[in-house]
Amino acid sequence: MSSVKGFHFNTICEISAQADESLLEEALSLCPVFERLMSRFIEGSDVWNLNHAEGLPVQVSEHTLEVLKCADALSSASEGAFNIAIGAASKLWRFTDAEPVIPTSEQLEKAIFELRNFSIRFKDAGVIIPAGATIDLGGVAKGYACDRVADQLRERGVTNGILNFGGNVVTIGTHPEGRPWKVGLQTPNAKRNESTFAAVESVDSAVVTSGIYERCFTRNGTIYHHILDPRTGRPASTDIVSATVLSSDSMLADALATAILVLGSSLGLQLAKDYGVQTALLTTNNQLTYSAAMPLTLTE
Ligand code: AMP
Ligand code: MG
């Protein structure tokens, strides 16, 4: 097995597979390509162009278009719990900075107004969003990239591999020993990769987890995390600590995991059911609820 690692989409992206390291490096080099299209921080990216278009149509790459269409569908299906216009709020909190900021109520009111009035239109002339809106694809772009990188590896003949882009896992074929890959679900607040509470079996599918213990900070005893409720612009406060989605489509799983965290367990489970995907939800009272068909085993 060879392994390669890089820092993209503000997280560690790792590929391990039975293949030459050079093949894995080549596949990993797609990450900065997608990042340059979908990061809101990179001047000239599709997302940057949309955020600065003042309501005019913008021609975007086929990749960005696919992600925007998935996000738009998810936004409707989740009744706005998933909303890429969340950029209006996330740019205030600045979770990716060394020193995140707690926005004022006034700032959040303005962000909520933008979120409520957001719409996206797909025209021949390009994609149109309202002037002043700020798109943030942080909840879905990694999932898309992970699928495309896995596709390239499959095309190059890789038959056994695993990709982990910051909790967004895609498996190719089986483990080299012929058994399914086992994707560990992280114990909240434990050091990354050091403790898991369960494992999900995966063959050629995606296992994606969103957690409120990722990218968070504590101020005056309150924990603030990066998954925001579009109705308030503040960290989503539901009964869920982490949501894991198993699906053949990693982009969909990524968006769904984020949406479920905002919706809470009862609406979240319904959304997963509507999409025919399996989920495992860890709740604030430390209960694990998972779909009957989820191939999950608890860690001893
Ligand atoms: P994930 O780790 O996939 O759950 O994505 C979290 C990221 O998604 C955040 O860092 C934001 O960039 C973005 N995000 C936060 N809240 C939402 C939301 N309600 N809808 C869509 N994207 C969101
Ligand atoms: Mg997500």
- In 3-state terms, what secondary structure has residue 71? helix
* Residue 123 backbone phi and psi in degrees, to 5: -120, 165
Per the listing, tokens 């990239």 go with: 145
| Residue nearest (by alpha carbon) to ligand 1 atom 19 | 82
Q: How far is the CA of 169 from the centre of ligand 2 (A)?
A: 12
Residue 262 Cβ contacting ligand 1 at under 6 Å: yes
- In 3-state terms, what secondary structure has residue 79? coil
Residue 83 Cβ contacting ligand 1 at under 6 Å: yes
Q: How far is the CA of 20 from the centre of ligand 2 (A)?
A: 30
CA nearest to 14, candidates 209, 170, 210, 177: 170
pLDDT at 227: 95
Which residue ranges in the chain fall short of pLDDT 50?
A: none
Q: How far is the CA of 230 from the centre of ligand 1 (A)?
A: 10
Q: Cβ distance 130 to 119 under 8 Å?
A: yes
What's the DSSP call for residue 130?
-
Residue 143 Cβ contacting ligand 1 at under 6 Å: no
CA nearest to 195, candidates 298, 290, 281, 283: 298
* Single-letter amino acid, residue 185: L
From residue 3, alpha-carbon distances to 161, 238, 277, 297 in Å are 10, 37, 29, 26
Both tokens of residue 145?
């990239």
User: What pTM was estimated for this model as a whole?
Assistant: 0.96
Q: How far is the CA of 298 from the centre of ligand 2 (A)?
A: 23
pLDDT at 115: 96
Q: 95-154 pLDDT, tens per residue?
A: 888 888 899 999 999 999 999 999 999 999 999 999 999 999 999 999 999 999 999 999
Using CA atoms in the order 54, 130, 139, 233, what is the torsion angle rounded to 10 degrees?
A: 110
| Residue nearest (by alpha carbon) to ligand 1 atom 22 | 139
Residue 86 Cβ contacting ligand 1 at under 6 Å: yes
**Residues whose Cβ atom is located within 5 A of ion ligand 2:** 139, 254, 257-258
* Single-letter amino acid, residue 32: P
Atom of ligand 1 minimally distant from the CA of 142: 3
Q: Cβ distance 264 to 240 under 8 Å?
A: yes
- Euclidean distance between CA atoms 58 and 21, whole angstroms: 38
pLDDT at 192: 67
